[in-house]
Structure 1
Amino acid sequence: MVRLAAFDLEGTLVKSVSGWVELHKKFGTWEKGKEYAEMFFEGRIDYATWAELDASLWKGHTKEEILEWVESVELMEGAYELFDFLRENNFKMAILSSGLMCLARKIADDLGADYVFANELVFDENGVITGKVIPRVDFVGKGSILRALKKELSPELTVAVGDGYNDLSMFAEADVSIAINPHEGVEGDHVVENLYEVIEIIRGLIEE
């Protein structure tokens, strides 16, 4: 018997809202980054192009600088307790982020997630950002990733937890969706304010 829980990362499991934005501000490239974001949301460029344009602004910066930011990102209260609870109840845990793998991988390791999907900055042999990015999770791609995991695992229950528009495709694939402090217009089967409430909802589902 396997169950599956899929999570957004930023704004859901960690207090960072957008690694892309935070790194733009760290590197002083936010004005240009904001312009590229507007181009994407106006439909003038696709997600892969947007990601690469963003990454191109950071060319020459180092992995050490990225990891310095990663280390500064705090987990949401209740994250460890939630993942411990899920493990004890036969869940496989997946993190699906349209942010950066540098952060997603660390959080997945810290929490003991079974799967992690995110976009990867490309570094050269000296750990310098090349300006290239491997876009593994586009703005609407979480649904197809979750669908593939369901096909692989055949879970008896699939729960998705997130907060933004790019989580809606994931919500559509789940048996139960939980929106945590959701952005305006984002709805789930349940709406919660913290991860402790997520534990109680899932507890209720598996005890039915």
Structure 2
Amino acid sequence: MSRLHLFDMDGTLLRGSSANVELARELGLVEEFREMDARFAVGEIDSGAYAGQAYGLWRELTAERVAAAFDGAPWLAGIREVWSDIRARGEYCAVISMSPDFFVRRLLEWGAHAAHGTRFPEPPFGDVPLDLTGILRPESKVLIADRLCADYGVTRAECVAYGDSLSDTALFGVVPVSVAVNGDHNVAALATLAYRGDDLREAYALTLPR
């Protein structure tokens, strides 16, 4: 029996950070994004408004600056090794994140079978408008997971989800095995397994047959 491993990125593969924070740091806009994050957390702005404001602040982004932000981010140890082991077992691994796809897709080079994020134009953006229909929301993770299940010939019953926060609760609610990786109170009661630390290999080991 094969399995599909579904990984969140912000706060999960990236410990204590997010793509938005790392891009903001690269551009010197950390305070602006902290304010946006705070407003989003209390519901003052929704995913669409957040993406639109971020798009405006990211006008100076280039492919080189995205690469610098990605390379300097605080990734958990062992990501490539975990995905290599998943592939060796004949299983599948994918990343589903609400962060911009131009950042998330870089994880394909590390061994993910698929990587999905909110759709943005490729930096530099120029005058290309943002397509609001490409913005992901927490429930989008379930829809994408279902499409990936169909692609790889598995079912929800054969999925393992890894996440840390509110954006992962919808997915945690529909799969049989879920791992809270440095998780907060939103996933604590939903997760079937929990891990705190800096090494994805240790979190992944919890899901392996004993």
**Smaller-chain TM-score bracket:** 0.7 to 0.9
RMSD between aligned residues: 2.5
Please list, as runs of the form range in 1=range in 2, the aligned pairs for 1:60-139 lying within 5 A after superposition.
60-110=60-110, 112-123=111-122, 127-128=124-125, 130=127, 132-134=129-131, 135-139=134-138
1:6 & 1:169 partners in 2: Cα distance?
A: 13
Question: What's the offset of the Cα at 1:56?
Answer: 0.5
* Contact preservation (8 Å) 1:159, 1:177: yes
Deviation at 1:7, TM superposition (A): 0.4
Structure 1 residues 195 and 35: CA distance shift in structure 2, 3 A: closer
Q: Which residue of 2 aligns with 1:4?
A: 4
DSSP-derived class of the 2:171 partner: helix
Worse overlay, 148-157 or 174-183: 148-157
Q: Give the Cα separation in 2 of the matches to 1:150 and 1:61.
A: 34
C-alpha separation in 1, matches of 2:71 and 2:177: 32
1:181 and 2:169 correspond:
no
d(CA) in 2 for partners of 1:130, 1:31: 25
Q: For residue 189 of structure 1, what is the amino acid of its counterpart? A: T
Q: Is the 8 A contact 2:100 2:119 kept in 1?
A: yes
Matched, 1:20 2:16: no
Q: Which residue of 2 aligns with 1:158?
A: 159
What runs of 5+ residues in structure 2 fail to find an aligned partner?
none
* Matches of 2:129 and 2:28, distance apart in 1: 19
Q: TM-score, normalised by structure 1?
A: 0.82
**Identity of counterpart residues, as a percentage?**
24
Tell me which protein shows more strand as a share of its residues.
1
Matching residue within 191, 194, 197 for 1:191: 194
Structure 1 unaligned blocks of 5 or more = none
Tell me which residue corresponds to 1:148: 147
Which one-letter code corresponds to 2:115 in the other structure? V
Q: 4+ residue runs of structure 1 moved beyond 4 angstroms?
A: 128-134
* TM-aligned CA distance change 1:30 to 1:72, over 3 Å: closer
Q: TM-score, normalised by structure 2?
A: 0.81
CA distance in 2, matches of 1:35, 1:201: 36
SS at match of 1:69: helix
The answer as to whether partners of 2:26 and 2:68 remain within 8 angstroms in 1 is no
| Pairs aligned (count) | 202
**CA deviation map 1:99-146 (0-9, x unaligned):** 222332112221x1111101233247xx34558545442244212221
Residue 103 of structure 1: SS of its match in structure 2?
A: helix
- Please say if residues 164 and 186 of structure 1, whose CA atoms lie closer than 8 Å, have aligned partners that are also in contact: yes
CA separation of 1:60 and 1:160: change in aligned 2, threshold 3 A:
same
Structure 1, 40-49 or 161-170: larger mean CA deviation? 40-49
Residues 43 and 179 of structure 1, relative CA distance in 2, 3 Å threshold: same
